[in-house]
Each structure stands twice: as structure tokens, then as C-alpha cells.
């Protein structure tokens, strides 16, 4: 706070008519109080009366008011002025192209599409690669509600949209009934139960989920999400196909099932190659630091900064790809308890 108004009048305090206009988030409150109290002798008056902004209880009073305001905001559904939001709270399906799986009224199931979605979710939870599902849909001549051909991304969006189990979301956020904390249900017929929806969401990495990527039509903008794992896009599938050639599909990060491997890299092309995330990351790190005559090596400075923990993920990935073209991952042995580092075979630059 400069301590004076634009016209140069000294500010001696603040009279606040509606404190939810002043601060809605704790950060705002903190900033406001810090600014107000950076000089002595100021007063603060709000609808509850005069408060001492310098005393701890003045601050805690304000905090309580903030909490009350927050609760009220939630109850009112975030200022219902927003038309979409209001419709969402009522559980009314919103405008735009009809969602895949429902008819034009957005409430009645589309018998063919809904069956496809239902089966796709079953298949996916059963371990089928989403690319295979997309291919099946293509083979069946299925098109999206805007006429597009299904691909892994659009099918993922369709399966993981909360609407498939009747849950209402807006702007990527699940709507909750304030009193109970339970999800708001839409008026449309659901395709699967909430359990199934959660199960299918759990098979994807968070970044590919509908909830993460937002609503509307599946994105086809080509906009890329920054990789969140060290080896994303660097690993290639080394599993032989039936015709004897190697799959060579990219291994993508997804959520793992064990504590030891909270993420795994799996081939989305054939679905037959998967490696523990921490294991692959560890191998990559080792490879970057390994020395061999005639091989490109990152500068000592970079390696030093890596060791010191100063490199961001993107910098580490750049360092890796500066020396390694890719790594081919050989198929693992099912149920093998120890990590087999030799599964990752580097292709040096």
C-alpha cells in the first residue's frame, strides 16, 4: 500500500461494507492486512464494527468472516451469475455438440454409442490399450459427434468424462453438493456406475483425464502437455510383433499399482510392454552419467548441477536426449520380483 490515494490523500484506515468483496481467499486477506498494518494508527471498520487490525484477534475475526464467506459462496454455487455454472448446479446438461453416448436431448442414451462406451470402459479396466479400443471404433465406422474419427485421446476423454456416471462437472471441477460433499448428479441417464468411472479413470495418468484436460469436445488442437516424467517419450517398446518386427511404440507414463512403482511406462501400441517408472528413470540417470570412449557426454557442469538437484525435469530430459536417441525396453518377465536394469537398452547419439 502506497499509503495515500491516487489524489494524494493519506489513508488512515479502511471502511469495508462487504468483506467478501475485499478478500475471498486467505492470500487476499493476508496481503490486505499486511498492507493495512504496515503503518501504525490505522483503523479498520466492517459491518461487525471497529476492529483492531494490529491485534491477533482482529485478524482471527477477519479469518472467521472469510470462512463464513467461503461457505456462503459454495452454497450459492460461486455466484450464480455465471449461466453455465447455474445450469450445471441444477444438473442440466449444457449446450454445445451433444456428448458422445447420448441423443440430441442430451438426456436419453444413444443405444449404439452408449453400449460402445460401456464396453470400452469394461475393456479398458480389463487392461486393453486405449489405442486398440479406438481402432475397433474406427473399424466399426464410429465417428464422433462432430464427425471426427476416434483416436486414443478422444476415446480417453469420452470414457473418463464424469458425465458417463451421471456426475456433473464444470470447468474440469466435479460439482459437489455443499451440504453433503456428494457429487451433483445430472438429469441424464448414466452409462456406468460411479465405481466403474473411477476404475477407468484410475487406469490413466492424471494428465490424460477428462477432469484434467477440461470439458467440451475432445481436444484436437495439437497443444501439448509438458511431460511430467523423466522417461516419457524416450522409451520405445522392444516387444516383437507376430511378423517378427519390433513394435517400437512409445512408452507412455501411467499410474502404477504398487508403492514401489507409483508410475509405470507402458506401450500404448501393443500393450505388451510395461516397465516400472522409478526403474526406468533410474536407468536413464545412470546412462547419462556413464562413461565410454567416443560417446557424447553432457558437460561436467550440467552433470554437477544434476547431482546437486538443480535441474528441472525439462532440463534433465534435454540432457538425456542430447546423448541418447531413445531407449528400447525389452519385455519384462511377469512376476519377477527384482528390477532388471538390462531391460533398458540405450540407442546412443
Residue numbers at the binding site for Zn ion (CB under 5 A) = 237, 239, 247, 249, 267, 269-270, 273
Question: Residue 232 burial (CB < 10 Å; 0-12/13-18/19+)?
Answer: buried
Question: In the complex with Zn ion, which residue's Cβ is closer, 249 or 256?
Answer: 249
Question: In the complex with Zn ion, which residue's Cβ is closer, 247 or 344?
Answer: 247
CB of 265 to Zn ion, least distance (A): 11
Question: In the complex with Zn ion, which residue's Cβ is closer, 112 or 325?
Answer: 325
CB of 251 to Zn ion, least distance (A): 8
CB of 231 to Zn ion, least distance (A): 15
Grid-cell match 442414451, residue found: 109
Question: In the complex with Zn ion, which residue's Cβ is closer, 305 or 330?
Answer: 330
Question: In the complex with Zn ion, which residue's Cβ is closer, 184 or 239?
Answer: 239
CB of 238 to Zn ion, least distance (A): 8
CB of 175 to Zn ion, least distance (A): 39
CB of 269 to Zn ion, least distance (A): 5
CB of 78 to Zn ion, least distance (A): 45
Strands 169-170 and 344-348: unpaired
Question: In the complex with Zn ion, which residue's Cβ is closer, 94 or 128?
Answer: 128
Question: In the complex with Zn ion, which residue's Cβ is closer, 247 or 253?
Answer: 247
Grid-cell match 441424464, residue found: 188
Amino acid at each position: 500500500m502506497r499509503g495515500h490515494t491516487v489524489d494524494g490523500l493519506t489513508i488512515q484506515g479502511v471502511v469495508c461494507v462487504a468483506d467478501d468483496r475485499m478478500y475471498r481467499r486467505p492470500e487476499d486477506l493476508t496481503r490486505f492486512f499486511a498492507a493495512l498494518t504496515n503503518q501504525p494508527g490505522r483503523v479498520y471498520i466492517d459491518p461487525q464494527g471497529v476492529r483492531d487490525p494490529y491485534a491477533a484477534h482482529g485478524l482471527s475475526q477477519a479469518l472467521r468472516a472469510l470462512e463464513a464467506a467461503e461457505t456462503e459462496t459454495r452454497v450459492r454455487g460461486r455466484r450464480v451469475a455465471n449461466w453455465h455454472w447455474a445450469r450445471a448446479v441444477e444438473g442440466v446438461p449444457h449446450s454445445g455438440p451433444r456428448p458422445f453416448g447420448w441423443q440430441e436431448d442430451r438426456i436419453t442414451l444413444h443405444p449404439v454409442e452408449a453400449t460402445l462406451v460401456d464396453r470400452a470402459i469394461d475393456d479398458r479396466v480389463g487392461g486393453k490399450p486405449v489405442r486398440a479400443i479406438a481402432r475397433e471404433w474406427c473399424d466399426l465406422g464410429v465417428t464422433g459427434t462432430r464427425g471426427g474419427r476416434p483416436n486414443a485421446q478422444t476415446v480417453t476423454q469420452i470414457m473418463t468424462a464424469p458425465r458417463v456416471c451421471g456426475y456433473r462437472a464444470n470447468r474440469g471441477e466435479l460439482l459437489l453438493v455443499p451440504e453433503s460433499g456428494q457429487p451433483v448428479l445430472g438429469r441424464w441417464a448414466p452409462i456406468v456406475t460411479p465405481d466403474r468411472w473411477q476404475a477407468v479413470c484410475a487406469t490413466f495418468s492424471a494428465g490424460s483425464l477428462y477432469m484434467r484436460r477440461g470439458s467440451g469436445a475432445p481436444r484436437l488442437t495439437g497443444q501439448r502437455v509438458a511431460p511430467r516424467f523423466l522417461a516419457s517419450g524416450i522409451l520405445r517398446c522392444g516387444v516383437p510383433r507376430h511378423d517378427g518386427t519390433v513394435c517400437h511404440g512409445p512408452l507412455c507414463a501411467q499410474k502404477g499399482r504398487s508403492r514401489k512403482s507409483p508410475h509405470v511406462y507402458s506401450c500404448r501400441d501393443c500393450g505388451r510392454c510395461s516397465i516400472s517408472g522409478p526403474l526406468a528413470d533410474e536407468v536413464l540417470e545412470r546412462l547419462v552419467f556413464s562413461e565410454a570412449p567416443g560417446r557424447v557426454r553432457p558437460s561436467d557442469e550440467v552433470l554437477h548441477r544434476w547431482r546437486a538437484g538443480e535441474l528441472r525435469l525439462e532440463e534433465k530430459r534435454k540432457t538425456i536426449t542430447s546423448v541418447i536417441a531413445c531407449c528400447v525396453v525389452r519385455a519384462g518377465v511377469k512376476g519377477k520380483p527384482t528390477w532388471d536394469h538390462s531391460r533398458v537398452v540405450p540407442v546412443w547419439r
